[in-house]
Amino acid sequence: MNLAVKDIRHNLGRFALTTVGIGMLLMVVMGMGGIYRGIIEDATLLVDRVGADLWVVQRDTRGPFAEISRVPANLVHRVSAVPGVATAREFVYHTIQRERDGKPLRIAVLGLSWPTDKGEWVPLVAGRPLARNHFEMIADRTLGLRLGERIRLGKETYTVVGISSSMISSSGDGLGLFSVADAQAIQFNIPGEAVRLEREARKARGQRSELGAKQPGLVEQAFQPTAKISAIARPQVSAVMVRVTPGTRVEDVVSIVSAWGDVSVHTRDGQKALLLKGPVEKARKQIGLFKVLLTAIATVIMALILYTLTLDKLHSIALLKLIGAPNRVIFGMILQQALALGALGYGIAYLLGQEIFPNFPRRVILVESDLIQLALIVLGISVLSSLLGIWRAMRVQPNEALA
């Protein structure tokens, strides 16, 4: 006869409620680790999926993900001329927030260098890649947009031609993939009244200048749309993605590009390290502190429950000692109860997590190493929490059974 099982049956209601409570607490600890894994996956997803060997960004910035970066569009041609560069593509990235059906809609806008990049590398669950340079988009399914749906962004209307899966920005927003031209049009969209005021301001500045008085034609040219004024540069891009030819050392290309005074260059691993040490670092520390705190709380709760269960059976423990039962029998009863409490709580945590975590707004990724680590922690706190009950049981004297 197993004394631990018999005692659990005797206090089944209390033990079951305690097990469920411990399981829910462990589920939160498990979820914290999964959220951290999800944050890492989301932060490095684009860097891994795009597959660029180098990222050329604005000088002394950590862009384009960890920090805003602006480089001229013609930088692509300069980078393409570097020995060892196979391809160089424009990269535009920014976040917008609009309203859809009365609810906020946040989109991480990614510009594809069409026609070189039409989004064939994007994992699609429906639809197709971009087929035109304008007015088409690929939307991640977390955005809630439907295939064929038309959405107005800025002054233009875009049609959803593809639905992607797990294309999330580092902040958890779903990605919307456009051509570079459309992404820039969305980014630099200005209301019509603001455009008119800017043209009037340019005209007024030209009329006040001496050059404008001598050449009135320049004033009229300043009143034209910005795109028709030759002296104004094209909209800037966030970065230039570079792929190195096979057999070429990446360090050789880096040494050439990094010597330019207007840009900085990061390798793929360097870009991931910047992301993980920047936006993700504080989240990692905060989640780690919560995990430690919740683990300590679970230990205290289990210890108190086992101590209470021990107090309820002090008379039975004294009777066992009186009839000559060895201490290891009492040790084993309390320890087995603690291990059962931890094992059942861990099982409940895992089963509940499988049902609840997919509904979280951020991805929760459970990896085998984290689950094994948590199982070992639960084993440790089960043994540790049993010590309080064992300590109280050892203080029981056999003659207390006669009281």
Report how far residue 386's alpha carbon sits from residue 304's, in angstroms, rounded to the nearest whole number.
9
What is the per-residue pLDDT for 95?
Answer: 87
The string of DSSP letters for 137-198 reads: EEEEGGG-PPTT-EEEETTEEEEEEEEESS-B-TTSPEEEEEEHHHHHHHHT---HHHHHHH
Q: Report the chain's terminal Cα–Cα distance, integer Å.
A: 27
Report how far residue 276's alpha carbon sits from residue 43's, in angstroms, rounded to the nearest whole number.
7
SS3 114: coil
User: Along the 403 residues of the chain, how does pLDDT read in single tens digits?
Assistant: 455 566 667 667 777 888 888 888 889 888 888 888 888 887 787 788 887 889 899 888 877 877 788 888 888 889 998 998 888 888 888 888 888 888 888 999 998 888 888 888 888 999 999 998 889 999 998 898 999 999 998 888 999 999 998 888 877 788 999 998 899 888 887 766 766 676 666 666 665 665 555 555 555 565 555 555 555 556 788 888 899 998 888 888 988 888 888 888 888 888 888 877 766 777 777 887 887 888 788 778 877 777 777 777 767 777 766 676 677 777 777 788 888 888 998 999 999 999 998 888 778 888 888 889 889 988 888 888 778 777 777 777 766 656 6
What is the per-residue pLDDT for 234?
Answer: 67
Q: Which of 16, 22, 12, 8 is nearest to 333 (CA)?
A: 8
What is the per-residue pLDDT for 6?
Answer: 66
What residues does 264 pair with on adjacent strands?
57
What is the per-residue pLDDT for 293?
Answer: 85
Q: Return the DSSP state at 324.
A: T
Q: Which of 44, 106, 37 is nearest to 283 (CA)?
A: 37
Q: Which of 174, 146, 173, 142 is nearest to 160 (CA)?
A: 146
What is the per-residue pLDDT for 5?
Answer: 67
Please give the distance of CA 278 from its chain centroid, rounded to a whole number.
13
Please give the distance of CA 139 from its chain centroid, rounded to a whole number.
18
Report how far residue 363's alpha carbon sits from residue 272's, in angstroms, rounded to the nearest whole number.
19
Reading the block at residue 198, the tokens are 């800017």
What residues does 163 pair with on adjacent strands?
126, 139
Q: Return the DSSP state at 360.
A: S
What is the per-residue pLDDT for 1?
Answer: 45
Q: Which of 47, 54, 122 is nearest to 275 (CA)?
A: 47
What is the per-residue pLDDT for 377?
Answer: 86
